Chain A
Amino acid sequence: MAGFLLRRLLLAAGVVAGAGVLIFLLIYAVPGDPATTALGPRASPEMRAAFRAAMGLDRPLPVQMARFFGRLLQGDLGRDIWSGRPVTEILFEALPHTLILALCSLGWSVLLGIGLGCMSAARRGGAFDRVAGALSIATIAIPPFLIAIYCLLLFAVELRWFPAIGAGTPGDWTSQLGALVLPSFSVGLAWVGYIARALRGSLIEVMRERYIIAARAFGLSERTILLRHALRIALVPVVSIVGVGFGSLLSGSVLAEIVFARPGLGKTVYEAVLARNYPVVTGAVVLTAGLYAVVMLLTDLVIALLDQRNRAAL
């Protein structure tokens, strides 16, 4: 177990380092100079040179990279170009909002998706299965930000059931919860489809296994077999889909935050992009890569808990 955790942690560190190197090389390779991007085309050459010196951009690439990683190890992602605040401070202020949104979206979609997946698998080929299948594919296909826009249009602008913007009044949890409804609905909707489709497929596979046939021979009801014996194993691929899809869950949350003007990572990064504040943007890339690595680690642990056959790998 300790060896497994160590290996996974090393892999996670590797992914974060890889993302850091990648964003560094891209900044270097992509046409466009950070100083011009930040200061605008009308900045004088002296201003640009001073900016480069202040940000350490005049050093050779390997030196820049070594400094970046050296600081990263101390938990320092650089400073905001305009306010001079540490990037980590800005990002960690925004992160909880995004995580709450992502977890809420995932939470309701997992519950509904598992229910729909089980019902589809049990009524395989029937009308329910076909309608649920078509709806699932449709919700996966339509971009979440569009669903967010339409939700805002219908429930906030026309019907006025929920607030259109913001994260609610701090301290008042009912208003915070109300402000969470539409964003988490629009981010989670696609996941209902994903989870239902994946679970249906893997349940159908598992139901063909020998131990299921044995359970049938013992006279257990189909319902008991499905819920007690098949579901646990069938959830394994679903968990890994959720884990691997965490990146797109974050992407969806980012866009939903911008549509609903919610504070969070997305809004922070978006404002940084508009202000050409690229240390905040690159910091966010490294941070989300780190988050992703943590999620992958958790995914592996959950899978090991669900399917004991995988525990040997621990």
Chain B
Amino acid sequence: MPRSEILAGLSRDRMALFGAVTVALILLVALFAPLLAPYDPAQISIPHRLEPAGPRHWLGTDQLGRDTLSRLLVGTRVAMSVALLSIGGAMAAGIALGLVAGYGPKLVDLGLLLLLDTISTVPVIIFALALLTLTGPSLPAVIGVIGFFSVPGYARLVRAETLRLKSADFILAERVMGAGLPRLLFLHMMPNVIGPLLVVVTMDVPSVIGLEAGLSFLGIGIQPPTPSWGTLLNDGFSFVRQAPFLVLVAGIPVILATLGFTFLGEFLREHWNPASRGRR
């Protein structure tokens, strides 16, 4: 799709525009969080604990007097790193497994499908709780667990696309000309698979953000003192009666991020998939 068409589509679709702007802002905040934060997010100041929003602390302070705005800004970086690393890892694994399942022998395909289906049958939260009990909560463990649950979706998509492409004319032509398997898979199949995959990935970011926030909220995700949106929600929730403001504010970035990525993803999906273009 030409760039001008994307831009024109964005300016027409207000939801998509909201999504694109929000996502851009979130990525910028994630990149420049330490510069933007007015205070050190770890700086404790007990005399100023649970302060409401004011000119000194725009979004108030938490139970240890730490500046909520600074913690949320730095938390953006944590949330985006978790999303980027877990989805990146899952994409790599999903592409590899999907190509193998789609192009490999029937038996391998069946085995992989059974494995992927089994992973996606168990409720993510319960499985994640089980895994994190064993590994103990840590940033790499959270990234690994979230990535693990994203693999089946990606692998299935890549598999379906590979099956579709397998008998496409240009692939047959390449094979007739004697192209080797790596050339076929990586030079010809993969570029065609990446597009639809990226759309699914954009739609997936909100659930990854939600899962990380949920796990950290339960205290088995990102561990304090690292500020993450989920741990901030957890802190706020513990003081929900004394300082309802804290939990109210801590949820806003999660809402903005999930909405932003979803609206952008919806737009990309509608415009990427030619079949759905004329249907609206």
Q: Which residues of A contact B (CB under 8 A)?
A: 14-15, 18-19, 22-23, 26-27, 30-32, 34, 37, 125, 134, 137-138, 140-143, 145-146, 149-150, 152-153, 157-158, 204, 247-248, 250-251, 254-255, 258-259, 265-266, 269-270, 272-274, 276, 278, 281-282, 284-285, 288-289, 292-293
Contact = CB atoms under 8 A, between A and B. Distances in A.
B244 A157 contact: yes
Contacts of A31: 135
A160 B85 CA distance: 42
Interface string B141-164: 000000000000000000000000
A31 B259 CA distance: 35
Contacts of B132: 273
A157 B130 CA distance: 32
Contact of A26 (B124, B131, B214): B131
B266 A149 contact: no
Nearest to B136: A32
B262 A149 contact: no
Nearest to B125: A251
Contact of B255 (A15, A134, A146, A153): A146
A23 B130 contact: yes
A15 B121 contact: yes
Contact of B134 (A34, A141, A143, A157): A34
A37 B248 CA distance: 35
Contacts of A143: 206-207, 209-211, 213-214, 254, 258
A273 B134 CA distance: 9
A144 B25 CA distance: 24
Interface stretch (B40-48, B112-120, B176-184): B112-120
B218 A258 contact: yes
Contact of B244 (A142, A145, A158, A248): A158
A289 B214 contact: no
29 contacts: A15-B121, A18-B117, A22-B119, A23-B130, A26-B130, A32-B134, A34-B134, A37-B136, A134-B15, A138-B259, A140-B262, A141-B206, A143-B206, A143-B254, A146-B254, A150-B251, A153-B240, A157-B241, A158-B244, A250-B123, A251-B126, A266-B126, A272-B133, A273-B129, A273-B220, A276-B133, A285-B126, A285-B127, A292-B123
* Centre residue among A15, A138, A153 by max chain B CB count within 10 A: A153
Given A32-B136, A247-B120, A285-B126, A157 B15 contact: no
Contacts of B130: 23, 26, 269, 273, 278, 281-282, 284-285
B280 interface: yes
B79 interface: no
A292 B115 CA distance: 16
B247 interface: yes
Contacts of A265: 126
Contacts of A250: 123, 125-126
A290 B104 CA distance: 31
B259 A30 contact: no
B118 A269 contact: no
Interface in B42-68: none
A141 B262 contact: yes
B122 A289 contact: yes
A48 B237 CA distance: 36
Nearest to A146: B251
Contacts of B114: 14, 18
Contacts of A254: 123, 125-126
Nearest to A38: B133
B118 A251 contact: no
A19 B233 contact: no
A255 B214 contact: yes
Interface secondary structure of A, over-half rule? helix
Interface residues of B, number: 51
* Centre residue among B130, B209, B213, B251 by max chain A CB count within 10 A: B130
Contacts of B119: 22
A22 B118 contact: yes
Contact of A19 (B118, B131, B219): B118
A129 to B, nearest CB: 10
Nearest to B220: A273
A157 B214 CA distance: 21
A30 B135 CA distance: 7
A36 B210 CA distance: 30
Interface string B256-270: 001101110010000
Given A251-B126, A288-B122, A292-B121, A270 B251 contact: no
A216 to B, nearest CB: 20
A22 to B, nearest CB: 6
Contact of A273 (B118, B133, B244, B280): B133
Contacts of A288: 122-123, 126
Contacts of A152: 240
B218 A251 contact: no
A137 B131 contact: no
A146 B134 contact: no
A112 to B, nearest CB: 20
Contacts of B126: 250-251, 254, 265-266, 269, 281, 284-285, 288
A125 B217 contact: no
Interface in B192-249: 206-207, 209-211, 213-214, 217-220, 233, 237, 240-241, 244, 247-248
